[in-house]
Structure 1
Protein backbone atom coordinates (compact mmCIF):
# COMPACT_ATOMS: atom_id res chain seq x y z
CA UNK A 1 0.00 0.00 0.00
CA UNK A 2 1.07 3.57 -0.56
CA UNK A 3 0.45 4.44 3.12
CA UNK A 4 3.44 2.68 4.65
CA UNK A 5 3.53 1.78 8.34
CA UNK A 6 6.19 -0.94 8.65
CA UNK A 7 8.76 1.10 10.58
CA UNK A 8 6.67 3.82 12.24
CA UNK A 9 7.47 2.68 15.77
CA UNK A 10 11.25 2.33 15.34
CA UNK A 11 12.89 5.45 16.79
CA UNK A 12 16.33 4.56 15.39
CA UNK A 13 15.28 3.22 11.97
CA UNK A 14 17.71 3.98 9.13
CA UNK A 15 17.97 2.41 5.70
CA UNK A 16 20.28 3.14 2.78
CA UNK A 17 19.34 1.63 -0.59
CA UNK A 18 20.71 1.96 -4.11
CA UNK A 19 18.13 1.74 -6.91
CA UNK A 20 18.73 1.31 -10.63
CA UNK A 21 15.92 1.76 -13.15
CA UNK A 22 13.40 1.46 -10.31
CA UNK A 23 10.18 3.46 -10.24
CA UNK A 24 7.70 3.73 -7.37
CA UNK A 25 4.17 5.19 -7.39
CA UNK A 26 2.92 7.98 -5.16
CA UNK A 27 3.05 7.04 -1.49
CA UNK A 28 3.54 8.58 1.94
CA UNK A 29 4.77 7.52 5.36
CA UNK A 30 5.92 8.93 8.69
CA UNK A 31 9.60 8.37 7.94
CA UNK A 32 11.90 11.00 6.42
CA UNK A 33 13.09 10.22 2.89
CA UNK A 34 16.00 11.75 0.97
CA UNK A 35 16.64 10.60 -2.60
CA UNK A 36 19.93 11.46 -4.33
CA UNK A 37 20.63 10.87 -8.03
CA UNK A 38 24.00 9.33 -8.95
CA UNK A 39 23.51 8.83 -12.69
CA UNK A 40 20.91 9.76 -15.29
CA UNK A 41 17.64 11.53 -14.56
CA UNK A 42 14.86 10.84 -12.07
CA UNK A 43 11.34 12.24 -12.31
CA UNK A 44 9.92 12.97 -8.86
CA UNK A 45 6.13 12.80 -8.56
CA UNK A 46 4.16 15.14 -6.31
CA UNK A 47 0.48 16.04 -5.98
CA UNK A 48 0.82 19.25 -8.00
CA UNK A 49 3.35 18.16 -10.61
CA UNK A 50 6.80 16.70 -11.14
CA UNK A 51 10.43 17.63 -10.49
CA UNK A 52 13.29 16.41 -12.71
CA UNK A 53 16.54 15.53 -10.93
CA UNK A 54 19.97 15.05 -12.50
CA UNK A 55 23.19 13.65 -11.01
CA UNK A 56 24.15 15.51 -7.85
CA UNK A 57 20.59 16.64 -7.13
CA UNK A 58 18.28 15.42 -4.38
CA UNK A 59 14.84 15.78 -2.81
CA UNK A 60 14.07 15.92 0.91
CA UNK A 61 10.61 14.67 1.94
CA UNK A 62 9.39 15.22 5.47
CA UNK A 63 6.90 12.93 7.23
CA UNK A 64 3.56 12.37 5.45
CA UNK A 65 4.50 14.19 2.24
CA UNK A 66 3.10 12.44 -0.84
CA UNK A 67 5.83 11.50 -3.34
CA UNK A 68 6.83 8.95 -5.96
CA UNK A 69 9.46 8.30 -8.63
CA UNK A 70 9.74 7.55 -12.35
CA UNK A 71 13.23 6.32 -13.21
CA UNK A 72 14.81 6.62 -16.66
CA UNK A 73 16.64 3.65 -18.19
CA UNK A 74 20.08 4.89 -17.14
CA UNK A 75 19.05 6.23 -13.75
CA UNK A 76 20.82 5.23 -10.53
CA UNK A 77 19.87 6.82 -7.22
CA UNK A 78 20.28 6.43 -3.48
CA UNK A 79 17.39 6.48 -1.01
CA UNK A 80 18.03 7.38 2.63
CA UNK A 81 14.95 6.50 4.69
CA UNK A 82 15.01 7.15 8.40
CA UNK A 83 13.13 7.95 11.59
CA UNK A 84 12.58 11.64 12.43
CA UNK A 85 14.39 10.94 15.71
CA UNK A 86 17.75 11.10 13.90
CA UNK A 87 17.26 14.78 13.01
CA UNK A 88 15.05 15.97 15.87
CA UNK A 89 17.08 19.17 16.34
CA UNK A 90 16.59 20.11 12.67
CA UNK A 91 12.88 19.34 12.78
CA UNK A 92 12.52 21.56 15.85
CA UNK A 93 14.20 24.40 13.94
CA UNK A 94 11.76 24.13 11.02
CA UNK A 95 8.67 23.30 13.08
CA UNK A 96 6.79 26.37 11.80
CA UNK A 97 8.41 26.47 8.36
CA UNK A 98 7.43 24.88 5.06
CA UNK A 99 9.79 24.47 2.05
CA UNK A 100 8.48 25.72 -1.30
CA UNK A 101 10.33 22.85 -3.02
CA UNK A 102 11.95 19.64 -1.72
CA UNK A 103 14.83 19.94 -4.22
CA UNK A 104 18.44 20.68 -3.29
CA UNK A 105 21.90 19.68 -4.55
CA UNK A 106 25.40 18.66 -3.43
CA UNK A 107 28.23 16.81 -5.20
CA UNK A 108 29.99 15.04 -2.32
CA UNK A 109 28.51 11.58 -2.98
CA UNK A 110 29.08 11.37 -6.74
CA UNK A 111 32.58 9.90 -6.38
CA UNK A 112 31.91 7.74 -3.30
CA UNK A 113 31.48 3.98 -3.80
CA UNK A 114 28.42 2.31 -2.32
CA UNK A 115 30.49 -0.22 -0.37
CA UNK A 116 32.33 2.65 1.30
CA UNK A 117 29.00 4.17 2.32
CA UNK A 118 27.84 0.80 3.66
CA UNK A 119 30.92 0.70 5.90
CA UNK A 120 30.47 4.35 6.88
CA UNK A 121 26.88 3.75 8.00
CA UNK A 122 27.88 0.97 10.39
CA UNK A 123 28.63 3.74 12.89
CA UNK A 124 25.46 5.38 14.30
CA UNK A 125 27.33 8.59 15.11
CA UNK A 126 28.40 8.88 11.49
CA UNK A 127 24.80 8.25 10.39
CA UNK A 128 23.54 11.13 12.52
CA UNK A 129 26.33 13.41 11.32
CA UNK A 130 25.63 12.56 7.68
CA UNK A 131 21.89 13.13 8.00
CA UNK A 132 22.41 16.47 9.73
CA UNK A 133 24.78 17.43 6.91
CA UNK A 134 21.95 16.73 4.45
CA UNK A 135 19.67 18.86 6.59
CA UNK A 136 22.23 21.66 6.43
CA UNK A 137 22.38 21.61 2.63
CA UNK A 138 18.59 21.49 2.38
CA UNK A 139 18.08 24.26 4.93
CA UNK A 140 20.52 26.60 3.14
CA UNK A 141 19.11 26.03 -0.34
CA UNK A 142 15.37 25.83 0.33
CA UNK A 143 13.03 28.81 0.25
CA UNK A 144 11.01 28.63 3.46
CA UNK A 145 7.51 29.89 4.17
CA UNK A 146 6.55 30.67 7.75
CA UNK A 147 3.38 28.89 8.83
CA UNK A 148 1.11 29.85 11.70
CA UNK A 149 1.53 27.56 14.68
CA UNK A 150 -0.93 24.69 14.42
CA UNK A 151 -1.66 21.56 16.35
CA UNK A 152 0.58 18.65 15.38
CA UNK A 153 -2.09 16.37 16.80
CA UNK A 154 -4.72 17.75 14.42
CA UNK A 155 -2.42 17.32 11.42
CA UNK A 156 -1.74 13.72 12.43
CA UNK A 157 -5.49 13.12 12.86
CA UNK A 158 -6.28 14.64 9.46
CA UNK A 159 -3.68 12.51 7.67
CA UNK A 160 -4.73 9.38 9.55
CA UNK A 161 -8.46 9.88 8.90
CA UNK A 162 -8.02 10.61 5.20
CA UNK A 163 -5.55 7.73 4.90
CA UNK A 164 -8.20 5.36 6.26
CA UNK A 165 -11.14 6.68 4.22
CA UNK A 166 -9.86 8.07 0.90
CA UNK A 167 -11.17 5.05 -1.04
CA UNK A 168 -14.67 5.94 0.16
CA UNK A 169 -16.95 8.75 -1.01
CA UNK A 170 -15.66 11.41 1.39
CA UNK A 171 -15.80 15.19 1.33
CA UNK A 172 -14.19 18.02 3.26
CA UNK A 173 -17.43 18.33 5.25
CA UNK A 174 -17.31 14.63 6.16
CA UNK A 175 -13.74 14.98 7.36
CA UNK A 176 -14.46 18.13 9.36
CA UNK A 177 -17.51 16.55 11.00
CA UNK A 178 -15.60 13.37 11.89
CA UNK A 179 -12.78 15.37 13.49
CA UNK A 180 -15.03 17.95 15.14
CA UNK A 181 -13.90 21.06 13.24
CA UNK A 182 -15.47 23.72 11.06
CA UNK A 183 -15.12 22.97 7.32
CA UNK A 184 -13.78 26.43 6.49
CA UNK A 185 -11.14 26.21 9.22
CA UNK A 186 -10.10 22.69 8.24
CA UNK A 187 -9.81 23.69 4.57
CA UNK A 188 -7.32 26.43 5.43
CA UNK A 189 -5.51 24.16 7.90
CA UNK A 190 -4.97 21.49 5.23
CA UNK A 191 -3.84 24.04 2.66
CA UNK A 192 -1.32 25.62 5.03
CA UNK A 193 0.04 22.39 6.50
CA UNK A 194 -0.03 20.03 3.52
CA UNK A 195 0.63 22.59 0.82
CA UNK A 196 -2.40 21.57 -1.23
CA UNK A 197 -6.18 21.44 -1.12
CA UNK A 198 -8.28 18.70 0.45
CA UNK A 199 -9.51 17.59 -2.98
CA UNK A 200 -6.04 17.43 -4.53
CA UNK A 201 -4.66 15.55 -1.54
CA UNK A 202 -7.41 12.92 -1.66
CA UNK A 203 -7.13 12.58 -5.45
CA UNK A 204 -3.37 12.15 -5.09
CA UNK A 205 -3.89 9.21 -2.74
CA UNK A 206 -6.49 7.72 -5.07
CA UNK A 207 -4.18 8.05 -8.06
CA UNK A 208 -1.39 6.38 -6.09
CA UNK A 209 -3.75 3.51 -5.33
CA UNK A 210 -4.70 3.24 -9.01
CA UNK A 211 -1.02 2.94 -9.99
CA UNK A 212 -0.63 0.16 -7.46
CA UNK A 213 -3.62 -1.67 -8.96
CA UNK A 214 -2.30 -1.24 -12.50
CA UNK A 215 1.05 -2.69 -11.46
CA UNK A 216 -0.26 -5.61 -9.40
CA UNK A 217 -3.52 -6.63 -11.12
CA UNK A 218 -5.09 -7.04 -14.55
CA UNK A 219 -8.27 -5.16 -13.65
CA UNK A 220 -10.12 -3.17 -16.34
CA UNK A 221 -9.78 0.59 -16.15
CA UNK A 222 -13.36 1.02 -14.93
CA UNK A 223 -12.75 -1.33 -12.00
CA UNK A 224 -9.48 0.41 -11.14
CA UNK A 225 -11.29 3.76 -11.12
CA UNK A 226 -14.05 2.59 -8.78
CA UNK A 227 -11.75 0.61 -6.48
CA UNK A 228 -9.50 3.67 -6.20
CA UNK A 229 -12.36 5.81 -4.90
CA UNK A 230 -13.22 7.86 -7.99
CA UNK A 231 -16.94 8.51 -8.49
CA UNK A 232 -16.81 7.99 -12.28
CA UNK A 233 -14.42 6.63 -14.88
CA UNK A 234 -14.46 10.01 -16.61
CA UNK A 235 -13.30 11.77 -13.45
CA UNK A 236 -10.56 9.17 -13.04
CA UNK A 237 -9.39 9.58 -16.65
CA UNK A 238 -9.28 13.37 -16.34
CA UNK A 239 -7.38 13.33 -13.04
CA UNK A 240 -4.95 10.68 -14.25
CA UNK A 241 -4.09 12.49 -17.48
CA UNK A 242 -3.82 15.85 -15.73
CA UNK A 243 -1.32 14.44 -13.22
CA UNK A 244 0.75 12.01 -15.31
CA UNK A 245 0.35 13.51 -18.82
CA UNK A 246 -0.99 10.24 -20.23
CA UNK A 247 -4.30 8.40 -20.04
CA UNK A 248 -4.89 5.27 -17.94
CA UNK A 249 -5.05 3.23 -21.14
CA UNK A 250 -1.72 4.63 -22.32
CA UNK A 251 -0.25 3.82 -18.91
CA UNK A 252 -1.52 0.24 -19.14
CA UNK A 253 0.15 -0.18 -22.53
CA UNK A 254 3.37 1.27 -21.15
CA UNK A 255 3.31 -1.22 -18.27
CA UNK A 256 2.79 -4.17 -20.64
CA UNK A 257 5.92 -3.23 -22.60
CA UNK A 258 8.14 -3.49 -19.51
Structure 2
Protein backbone atom coordinates (compact mmCIF):
# COMPACT_ATOMS: atom_id res chain seq x y z
CA UNK A 1 0.00 0.00 0.00
CA UNK A 2 1.32 3.44 -0.94
CA UNK A 3 0.29 5.98 1.69
CA UNK A 4 1.71 9.50 1.96
CA UNK A 5 4.82 8.45 0.01
CA UNK A 6 5.43 5.49 2.32
CA UNK A 7 5.09 1.83 1.35
CA UNK A 8 3.19 -0.28 3.89
CA UNK A 9 3.10 -4.08 3.54
CA UNK A 10 0.17 -6.10 4.89
CA UNK A 11 0.03 -9.87 5.24
CA UNK A 12 -2.93 -12.20 4.87
CA UNK A 13 -5.59 -11.63 7.52
CA UNK A 14 -4.44 -8.12 8.53
CA UNK A 15 -6.72 -5.10 8.74
CA UNK A 16 -6.47 -1.46 7.75
CA UNK A 17 -9.01 1.35 8.13
CA UNK A 18 -9.57 4.07 5.55
CA UNK A 19 -10.81 7.42 6.85
CA UNK A 20 -14.07 8.59 5.29
CA UNK A 21 -12.96 11.73 3.44
CA UNK A 22 -9.57 10.55 2.21
CA UNK A 23 -8.81 9.59 -1.42
CA UNK A 24 -8.68 5.88 -2.33
CA UNK A 25 -5.47 4.10 -1.34
CA UNK A 26 -2.99 2.94 -3.94
CA UNK A 27 -2.95 -0.84 -3.44
CA UNK A 28 -0.82 -3.50 -5.07
CA UNK A 29 -2.19 -7.02 -4.44
CA UNK A 30 0.23 -9.95 -4.76
CA UNK A 31 -1.55 -13.30 -5.10
CA UNK A 32 -4.56 -12.46 -2.97
CA UNK A 33 -7.80 -10.52 -2.59
CA UNK A 34 -9.09 -7.79 -0.32
CA UNK A 35 -12.42 -7.80 1.49
CA UNK A 36 -13.66 -4.22 1.40
CA UNK A 37 -16.44 -2.89 3.60
CA UNK A 38 -17.84 0.63 3.16
CA UNK A 39 -20.16 1.94 5.87
CA UNK A 40 -22.62 4.78 5.36
CA UNK A 41 -22.07 7.54 7.93
CA UNK A 42 -25.73 7.56 9.04
CA UNK A 43 -25.25 4.14 10.65
CA UNK A 44 -22.60 5.55 12.94
CA UNK A 45 -25.18 7.79 14.56
CA UNK A 46 -27.98 5.23 14.42
CA UNK A 47 -26.19 2.37 16.14
CA UNK A 48 -23.48 4.06 18.17
CA UNK A 49 -23.79 3.26 21.90
CA UNK A 50 -21.79 5.98 23.63
CA UNK A 51 -19.45 4.97 26.47
CA UNK A 52 -20.43 1.32 26.01
CA UNK A 53 -16.86 0.18 25.48
CA UNK A 54 -13.73 0.25 27.59
CA UNK A 55 -10.58 -0.30 25.52
CA UNK A 56 -7.02 0.08 26.66
CA UNK A 57 -4.94 0.57 23.52
CA UNK A 58 -4.77 0.73 19.76
CA UNK A 59 -3.82 -2.96 19.42
CA UNK A 60 -6.85 -4.05 21.44
CA UNK A 61 -9.32 -1.96 19.45
CA UNK A 62 -7.87 -3.28 16.17
CA UNK A 63 -8.43 -6.84 17.42
CA UNK A 64 -12.08 -6.09 18.30
CA UNK A 65 -12.74 -4.44 14.93
CA UNK A 66 -11.22 -7.37 13.06
CA UNK A 67 -13.08 -9.95 15.14
CA UNK A 68 -16.49 -8.31 14.69
CA UNK A 69 -15.79 -7.67 11.00
CA UNK A 70 -15.01 -11.34 10.34
CA UNK A 71 -18.00 -12.54 12.35
CA UNK A 72 -20.25 -10.20 10.36
CA UNK A 73 -19.08 -11.77 7.10
CA UNK A 74 -19.36 -15.27 8.53
CA UNK A 75 -22.93 -14.77 9.73
CA UNK A 76 -24.06 -13.18 6.46
CA UNK A 77 -22.76 -16.18 4.52
CA UNK A 78 -24.46 -18.56 6.98
CA UNK A 79 -27.67 -16.48 6.66
CA UNK A 80 -27.68 -15.93 10.41
CA UNK A 81 -28.77 -12.33 9.95
CA UNK A 82 -29.57 -11.59 13.60
CA UNK A 83 -26.02 -12.46 14.65
CA UNK A 84 -24.70 -10.58 11.62
CA UNK A 85 -26.54 -7.46 12.79
CA UNK A 86 -25.14 -7.84 16.31
CA UNK A 87 -21.58 -8.25 14.99
CA UNK A 88 -22.04 -5.30 12.67
CA UNK A 89 -23.27 -3.02 15.46
CA UNK A 90 -20.32 -4.09 17.64
CA UNK A 91 -17.98 -3.27 14.77
CA UNK A 92 -19.49 0.21 14.36
CA UNK A 93 -18.94 0.92 18.02
CA UNK A 94 -15.33 -0.22 17.92
CA UNK A 95 -14.72 1.79 14.75
CA UNK A 96 -16.18 4.89 16.35
CA UNK A 97 -14.02 4.43 19.45
CA UNK A 98 -10.98 3.89 17.22
CA UNK A 99 -11.63 7.07 15.23
CA UNK A 100 -12.42 9.18 18.29
CA UNK A 101 -9.76 7.92 20.66
CA UNK A 102 -6.83 6.47 18.77
CA UNK A 103 -6.95 8.08 15.34
CA UNK A 104 -8.69 11.42 15.74
CA UNK A 105 -9.82 13.02 12.54
CA UNK A 106 -13.41 13.56 11.55
CA UNK A 107 -15.58 13.06 14.64
CA UNK A 108 -13.39 14.69 17.28
CA UNK A 109 -10.53 15.87 15.11
CA UNK A 110 -8.20 17.78 17.47
CA UNK A 111 -7.63 18.71 21.07
CA UNK A 112 -7.78 22.38 20.11
CA UNK A 113 -11.19 23.87 20.97
CA UNK A 114 -10.45 26.73 18.57
CA UNK A 115 -9.86 24.47 15.58
CA UNK A 116 -12.80 22.26 16.55
CA UNK A 117 -15.05 25.33 16.36
CA UNK A 118 -13.71 26.07 12.87
CA UNK A 119 -14.27 22.45 11.80
CA UNK A 120 -17.79 22.44 13.20
CA UNK A 121 -18.54 25.62 11.27
CA UNK A 122 -17.17 24.12 8.04
CA UNK A 123 -19.02 20.82 8.50
CA UNK A 124 -22.33 22.65 8.96
CA UNK A 125 -21.84 25.24 6.19
CA UNK A 126 -19.67 23.49 3.58
CA UNK A 127 -22.21 24.15 0.83
CA UNK A 128 -21.72 27.89 1.24
CA UNK A 129 -18.89 29.84 -0.51
CA UNK A 130 -16.72 29.78 2.64
CA UNK A 131 -13.54 31.78 3.18
CA UNK A 132 -11.24 31.53 6.18
CA UNK A 133 -11.18 35.31 6.68
CA UNK A 134 -14.99 35.39 6.98
CA UNK A 135 -15.10 32.45 9.40
CA UNK A 136 -12.33 33.97 11.53
CA UNK A 137 -14.24 37.25 11.68
CA UNK A 138 -17.52 35.55 12.61
CA UNK A 139 -15.87 33.51 15.38
CA UNK A 140 -13.64 36.40 16.54
CA UNK A 141 -10.32 34.72 15.69
CA UNK A 142 -7.18 36.11 14.07
CA UNK A 143 -7.00 34.84 10.47
CA UNK A 144 -3.19 34.42 10.33
CA UNK A 145 -3.15 32.52 13.63
CA UNK A 146 -6.05 30.30 12.55
CA UNK A 147 -4.40 29.52 9.21
CA UNK A 148 -1.17 28.36 10.89
CA UNK A 149 -2.95 26.52 13.69
CA UNK A 150 -5.31 24.75 11.28
CA UNK A 151 -2.46 23.33 9.19
CA UNK A 152 -0.54 22.34 12.31
CA UNK A 153 -3.49 20.46 13.83
CA UNK A 154 -5.03 18.97 10.69
CA UNK A 155 -1.92 18.40 8.55
CA UNK A 156 -3.71 20.16 5.69
CA UNK A 157 -4.81 23.67 4.81
CA UNK A 158 -8.27 25.13 5.39
CA UNK A 159 -8.97 24.96 1.65
CA UNK A 160 -7.90 21.32 1.39
CA UNK A 161 -10.14 20.32 4.30
CA UNK A 162 -13.11 22.25 2.89
CA UNK A 163 -12.66 20.58 -0.50
CA UNK A 164 -12.41 17.12 1.13
CA UNK A 165 -15.60 17.63 3.14
CA UNK A 166 -17.48 18.88 0.08
CA UNK A 167 -16.33 15.95 -2.04
CA UNK A 168 -17.07 13.43 0.71
CA UNK A 169 -20.66 14.62 1.09
CA UNK A 170 -21.09 15.06 -2.65
CA UNK A 171 -19.90 11.48 -3.29
CA UNK A 172 -22.47 10.25 -0.77
CA UNK A 173 -25.19 12.09 -2.67
CA UNK A 174 -23.98 10.61 -5.98
CA UNK A 175 -24.50 7.12 -4.55
CA UNK A 176 -27.94 7.93 -3.17
CA UNK A 177 -29.19 9.73 -6.30
CA UNK A 178 -27.54 7.60 -8.95
CA UNK A 179 -26.98 10.69 -11.10
CA UNK A 180 -24.67 13.70 -11.23
CA UNK A 181 -26.84 16.34 -12.91
CA UNK A 182 -25.39 19.74 -11.90
CA UNK A 183 -24.68 18.42 -8.41
CA UNK A 184 -21.51 20.51 -8.16
CA UNK A 185 -23.61 23.70 -7.90
CA UNK A 186 -25.11 22.50 -4.58
CA UNK A 187 -21.74 21.95 -2.93
CA UNK A 188 -20.06 25.31 -3.27
CA UNK A 189 -17.81 24.63 -6.26
CA UNK A 190 -17.25 27.76 -8.38
CA UNK A 191 -17.52 25.88 -11.69
CA UNK A 192 -18.09 22.43 -13.16
CA UNK A 193 -14.52 22.43 -14.44
CA UNK A 194 -13.11 23.00 -10.93
CA UNK A 195 -15.42 20.33 -9.50
CA UNK A 196 -14.44 17.70 -12.11
CA UNK A 197 -10.75 18.43 -11.59
CA UNK A 198 -10.99 18.06 -7.80
CA UNK A 199 -13.21 14.97 -8.04
CA UNK A 200 -10.81 13.18 -10.41
CA UNK A 201 -7.83 14.12 -8.21
CA UNK A 202 -9.56 12.59 -5.19
CA UNK A 203 -11.39 9.55 -6.57
CA UNK A 204 -9.33 8.97 -9.75
CA UNK A 205 -12.43 8.67 -11.90
CA UNK A 206 -15.32 10.77 -13.22
CA UNK A 207 -18.54 11.17 -11.18
CA UNK A 208 -20.36 8.95 -13.70
CA UNK A 209 -17.76 6.18 -13.36
CA UNK A 210 -17.97 6.56 -9.57
CA UNK A 211 -21.74 5.97 -9.67
CA UNK A 212 -21.39 2.93 -11.95
CA UNK A 213 -18.66 1.42 -9.76
CA UNK A 214 -20.66 1.79 -6.54
CA UNK A 215 -23.76 0.35 -8.21
CA UNK A 216 -21.71 -2.65 -9.36
CA UNK A 217 -20.55 -3.42 -5.81
CA UNK A 218 -24.00 -2.76 -4.34
CA UNK A 219 -25.68 -5.18 -6.74
CA UNK A 220 -23.12 -7.97 -6.55
CA UNK A 221 -25.20 -11.07 -5.58
CA UNK A 222 -22.29 -13.30 -4.51
CA UNK A 223 -20.04 -10.80 -2.80
CA UNK A 224 -19.16 -13.33 -0.08
CA UNK A 225 -17.94 -16.47 -1.82
CA UNK A 226 -17.27 -19.87 -0.27
CA UNK A 227 -13.54 -19.27 -0.64
CA UNK A 228 -13.81 -16.04 1.37
CA UNK A 229 -15.99 -17.78 3.97
CA UNK A 230 -13.42 -20.60 4.35
CA UNK A 231 -10.60 -18.09 4.89
CA UNK A 232 -12.67 -16.20 7.45
CA UNK A 233 -13.24 -19.41 9.44
CA UNK A 234 -9.47 -20.02 9.54
CA UNK A 235 -8.80 -16.63 11.14
CA UNK A 236 -11.71 -16.88 13.55
CA UNK A 237 -10.33 -20.27 14.68
CA UNK A 238 -6.84 -18.81 15.06
CA UNK A 239 -8.19 -15.92 17.15
CA UNK A 240 -10.14 -18.35 19.37
CA UNK A 241 -6.99 -20.46 19.90
CA UNK A 242 -4.94 -17.36 20.79
CA UNK A 243 -7.58 -16.18 23.25
CA UNK A 244 -7.62 -19.63 24.96
CA UNK A 245 -3.83 -19.65 25.28
CA UNK A 246 -3.85 -16.15 26.83
CA UNK A 247 -6.52 -17.13 29.41
TM-score (norm 1): 0.49
| Residues 59, 104 of structure 1: 8 Å contact kept | no
The match for 2:179 is: 218
Please tell me whether residue 85 in structure 1 is matched to residue 45 in structure 2: no
- 1:158 pairs, out of 118, 132, 136, with 118
User: d(CA) in 1 for partners of 2:212 and 2:178?
Assistant: 14
Please tell me whether residue 177 in structure 1 is matched to residue 137 in structure 2: yes
Once the two structures are superposed, the pairs formed by residues 224-239 of structure 1 within 5 Å of their partners are 224-239=183-198
The match for 2:204 is: 245
Higher strand proportion (structure 1 or 2): 1
SS in 2 for 1:59: coil
User: d(CA) in 2 for partners of 1:191 and 1:56?
Assistant: 32
Higher helix proportion (structure 1 or 2): 2
User: d(CA) in 2 for partners of 1:52 and 1:240?
Assistant: 28
Deviates more, 1:175-184 or 1:52-61: 52-61
Which protein shows a greater Rg? 2
| Residues 207, 240 of structure 1: 8 Å contact kept | yes
Once the two structures are superposed, the pairs formed by residues 21-60 of structure 1 within 5 Å of their partners are 55-59=13-17
The match for 1:208 is: 168
Q: How many residues align?
A: 176
The match for 2:225 is: none
Q: 1:52 to 1:66 in 2, by over 3 A?
A: farther
Q: Unaligned stretches of 5+ in structure 2?
A: 26-32, 104-109, 220-247
TM-score (norm 2): 0.51
Aligned residues: CA RMSD: 5.0
Residue 179 (structure 1) shift: 1.2
Q: 1:229 to 1:52 in 2, by over 3 A?
A: farther
